[in-house]
Amino acid sequence: MCGIAGFVGAGDSLRQAVASLKRLEYRGYDSAGVAYSTGDELRIARCPGKVADLEALIAALPAASGPAIAHTRWATHGRPSEANAHPHGDCTGQLAVVHNGIIENHQAIRQTLLSAGHRIQSETDTEVISHLIEDELVGRRGASGLVEAVRAATQRLHGSFAVAVLWSGAPDVIVAARRDSPLIVGLGDAGAFVASDVPALVGWADRLSALQDGDVALVRGRSVTIWDADGKEREASMMPLTMSREAAEKQGFAHFMLKEIHEQPRAVKETCRGRIGSDGEVALEGLGDAVLELLRSGNVHFVACGTAYHAALIGKRLWDQALRRHADCTVSSEFRYDRPLIDDRTLVVLVSQSGETADTVAAARYARQLGARTLAVVNCMGTSLERETDAALITRAGPEIGVASTKAYSAQVAAMGLLAGQAGWADAGQALSALPDAIEKVLDNEAAIKAIASDLATSNCFFFLGRGHDAAVAAEAALKLKEISYIHAEAYPAGEMKHGPLALVEPGVAVVGLCTRPSTHDKIASNLMEVRARDGRVVTVVSDGLPIPEAATDVIVVPSVSEYMSPIVTMVAMQLLAYYVALARGCSIDQPRNLAKSVTVE
Ligand code: M6R
């Protein structure tokens, strides 16, 4: 989604803001822009396209000593164009606003503003914010006047926003505000930063603070002042910035996705560190008695989106199959608009890498309204999801920059194993401890997987088939391929093919059979023969020790581990397959078209 990066301090703030913005490219966007103060006046440069296009646009401009705010826009209201790119100004040309989120009542505000004589130049929902602030600034002066105007204007907005504002009437400050969209402020030797995500600060700031809903922040070169939703000044409570520069950079890998695939042994090891005793018993700290009690004997309902949902499906399977207790699993966007069977004996487990996915955060609120206890399984710390839930289990995958989730998935599935272990799954410790070595073995097979991927890259239709837990893995494998290679890919429980999808199988169709489950191995082997008989190309992923299905034209052997944790091992192979197919097709792997890393709108 959109990205915000602002800087005020020593040096060329124009280029600093754009350099910070470049770190947010992974979030997905289609235009970029920056507003900066020369000391005398406010200027805006913006364009459709990439941050590199913006860099070219500002290349010949002199350094800017005043503050700057930069933005990458992921189009929602109005197509990607120069006019719709942020920052947006007001009628006076003295104000500039960047915004993440969606203003739900923008049409009504737009009508009011137009009737009052405002000239609105873009199709965006954002531009109404600049004109509202313009009105609120009448009669106000200086930095405190801007703070008051931003507060008053944002109070009229429905929906979600993170905004950063420049005004020539307060030429040495940035004012920022948020509701339901993440925004952080940071401080470093050279000055102060505003950003929608931490990578924008790495290497330049050494401490940061996450704004909370309703906060308005005044950011100066050396200080940050924050007022809460009631207008009371509150302490900025700065935390050390711990993300390393290596984490924010590719370190020799061609893409962040490939780097993150290779980081999975560590992601799983870190997620389990200190949570499994020498006796193999899982002991999770900090969840609180009520959550622990519900894990042991309450109802459990998993809720998540995308890859996190696929990890949650493994959680449900652990409950159903390993613990022999019923559990539900629902995508967040369905959960919050349905009437789930939930009460005070229910633990709703919300799984999210970013902790900022709008549907998942809203689902957490809804679950609480229904009387449930809530537990976040989240990778980023200090997020909205953590604040909206009763307890959090932090996965420790480290920062995930590639839009396609890889190491976060492995850490989430490991977390599912930890939760099941805490709930009584006796094999959890042993199953989890075997994973880092098993993942390494899959990574050792990278060249062979790459060769298979290069052969498959011309196929325009993929099926991923599995049974039992492999059916859940098939869904994640299909998602991974489609999001980065743009190939149509579907996942099916293998036995379902003959009930319809088999009609699509013809030469050129690739079918990947996931065969890691001993109890149904013969069954899936037969299902794959049915595909082969229709001239489909069959790639199999087989657990070491199981027979190679007769239908296989290509085979990827993966280490045999506990069937409940094998989704991690299988998915590492499937991530590599998707990566190398996308590479062979020349796709934009870290920033796939139309997608964003953190989906902060509904
Ligand atoms: O940050 P979250 O885990 O809540 O994100 C959920 C999905 O948006 C995310 O997993 C998405 O499906 C990924 N692009 C998949 O690779």
Q: List phi, psi (to 5°) of 393.
A: -110, 110
Give per-residue pLDDT as tens, 461-482: 999 999 999 999 999 999 999 9
Pocket lining: 100 vs ligand 1, CB cutoff 6 Å:
no
**Ligand 1 site-directed mutation target among 257, 599, 600, 601, most atoms within 8 Å of CB:** 599
Pocket lining: 191 vs ligand 1, CB cutoff 6 Å:
no
Give per-residue pLDDT as tens, 300-352: 999 999 999 999 999 999 999 999 999 999 999 999 888 899 999 999 999 99
The Cα 89–Cα 165 span in angstroms is: 10
What atom in ligand 1 is closest to the CA of residue 304? 4
Give per-residue pLDDT as tens, 161-173: 999 999 999 999 9
Q: How far is CA 151 from CA 157, 175, 218, in A?
A: 10, 10, 11
- What domains are defined for the chain? 3-244 (3.60.20.10), 250-433 (3.40.50.10490), 445-591 (3.40.50.10490)
The Cα 571–Cα 477 span in angstroms is: 7
217: Cα separation from own chain's centroid: 25
Give per-residue pLDDT as tens, 365-409: 999 999 999 999 999 887 889 999 999 999 999 889 899 999 999
Taking the centre of ligand 1 as the mean of its atom positions, its distance from the CA of residue 99, in whole angstroms, is 22
Tell how strand 216-219 and strand 174-179 pair up: antiparallel
Give the residue numbers marked as catalytic: 2, 597
Pocket lining: 28 vs ligand 1, CB cutoff 6 Å:
no
Structure tokens at 413: 């599935």
**Could you tell me if 546 and 515 are in contact, meaning their C-beta atoms sit under 8 angstroms apart?**
yes
Pocket lining: 306 vs ligand 1, CB cutoff 6 Å:
yes
Omega within 30 of 0 (cis) for the link into 87 = yes
Taking the centre of ligand 1 as the mean of its atom positions, its distance from the CA of residue 538, in whole angstroms, is 28
Q: Which residues contact 68 (CB under 8 A, 6 or more apart)?
A: 6, 7, 8, 13, 14, 16, 17, 18, 34, 35, 36, 37, 166
Give per-residue pLDDT as tens, 47-89: 999 999 999 999 999 999 899 999 999 888 888 899 999 999 9
The whole-number pLDDT of residue 197 equals: 87
The whole-number pLDDT of residue 368 equals: 96
pTM of structure: 0.78
Q: What's the order of all strands across the beta sheet hosting 191-195?
A: 42-48, 31-37, 68-73, 3-9, 191-195, 184-187, 207-210, 239-240
Pocket lining: 357 vs ligand 1, CB cutoff 6 Å:
yes
Give per-residue pLDDT as tens, 278-288: 999 999 999 99
* Nearest protein Cα to ligand 1, atom 14: 404
Give per-residue pLDDT as tens, 416-465: 999 999 999 999 999 999 999 999 999 999 999 999 999 999 999 999 99
**Ligand 1 site-directed mutation target among 357, 384, 405, most atoms within 8 Å of CB:** 405
Taking the centre of ligand 1 as the mean of its atom positions, its distance from the CA of residue 324, in whole angstroms, is 28
The whole-number pLDDT of residue 181 equals: 86
Question: What number of helices (H) and strands (E) belong to the chain?
Answer: 20, 25
Pocket lining: 379 vs ligand 1, CB cutoff 6 Å:
no
Whether the per-residue pLDDT at 39 is higher than 80: the answer is no
The whole-number pLDDT of residue 564 equals: 96
Pocket lining: 412 vs ligand 1, CB cutoff 6 Å:
no
The Cα 472–Cα 470 span in angstroms is: 5
* Nearest protein Cα to ligand 1, atom 7: 306
Taking the centre of ligand 1 as the mean of its atom positions, its distance from the CA of residue 214, in whole angstroms, is 26
What atom in ligand 1 is closest to the CA of residue 480? 16
The whole-number pLDDT of residue 442 equals: 98
Q: What letter represents residue 522's amino acid?
A: D
Q: How confident is the model at residue 250 (pLDDT cuts 50, 70, 90)?
A: confident
Structure tokens at 462: 């993929």
Taking the centre of ligand 1 as the mean of its atom positions, its distance from the CA of residue 601, in whole angstroms, is 13
What atom in ligand 1 is closest to the CA of residue 596? 14
Taking the centre of ligand 1 as the mean of its atom positions, its distance from the CA of residue 373, in whole angstroms, is 23
CB count within 10 Å of CB 368 equals: 16
Pocket lining: 308 vs ligand 1, CB cutoff 6 Å:
yes
Give per-residue pLDDT as tens, 515-563: 999 999 989 999 999 888 888 889 999 999 999 999 999 999 999 999 9
Pocket lining: 403 vs ligand 1, CB cutoff 6 Å:
yes
Give per-residue pLDDT as tens, 85-105: 999 999 999 999 999 998 999
Which among 512, 505, 578, 579 has a CA at the least distance from the CA of 541?
A: 512
Taking the centre of ligand 1 as the mean of its atom positions, its distance from the CA of residue 405, in whole angstroms, is 6
Pocket lining: 72 vs ligand 1, CB cutoff 6 Å:
no
Pocket lining: 300 vs ligand 1, CB cutoff 6 Å:
no
The whole-number pLDDT of residue 1 equals: 64
